[in-house]
Copies of this chain bind each other. A is one copy, B any other.
Amino acid sequence: MSSINVIPPQSGAAFKISKGDVLTVIDPLGKQVSDMVLFNNADKKEKISSGKTMDFEETILLSKGNFLWSNRSQKMMEIIEDTNGRNDFLLAPCSPETFKIMYNNPSYHPSCLENLNKNLLQFHIDLDEIPTAFNIFMNVQFDKEGKLKVLPPTSKQGDLIRFKAEMDLIVGLTACSAEDSNGGVFKPIHFIVTTSKSVAKDIINFNQQ
């Protein structure tokens, strides 16, 4: 069994995975959002694109069977399992300015953008290169007029989403830091990387736990 990696509350991680690997992102306690960004490991100017993904997949909400696309119109990941089913690309990762402008909080506050930045620096990816993230387990509601409202996630303890890598990737992943997005309580996010050689066996093991 591949090991479970823990992202503590209000923090992040960055790591490499190879084409064919499976990344499982787990909400261990429920109602916790995780922001994910992707870069092509062979050329970091190729990165996950909200606009290209919504364009090619023809949907705002993304779940099992959908692909995540790059700014160069290449498939980066396929969603191969999704037990919760609410993920989108609408809102940017929370940043220091989110809390100043939207929460009217002038003090320091941890944020997904800072946590992505801190962790992606080891791969020489700068703050300005971080794109709009894929919002895993995030419950952004929209009405007919397009008005947006962030509600607590619908994800329950142990809900997971599983991605198959379509190219060698650098992944940035967070346990989100924004009060409104996480039902007011900050929890960890777990993730597992299963290498392509052991995918079949490990998925069986994981499901049997």
Contact = CB atoms under 8 A, between A and B. Distances in A.
Interface of A: 45-46, 49-52, 54-56, 58-61, 71-73, 88-93, 95, 97-98, 101-102, 128, 130-133, 142, 145-149
- Number of identical monomers bound together in the oligomeric complex: 2
A50 B89 CA distance: 10
Given A51-B93, A56-B101, 17 more contacts: A50-B132, A51-B90, A51-B92, A51-B131, A52-B92, A52-B132, A55-B92, A56-B102, A59-B148, A60-B146, A60-B147, A61-B146, A71-B92, A71-B128, A72-B128, A73-B98, A131-B131
A120 to B, nearest CB: 14
A74 to B, nearest CB: 9
A102 B73 CA distance: 11
Contacts of A95: 73
A123 B125 CA distance: 23
A182 to B, nearest CB: 16
A97 B73 CA distance: 6
Given A46-B128, A72-B128, A128-B45, A148 B51 contact: no
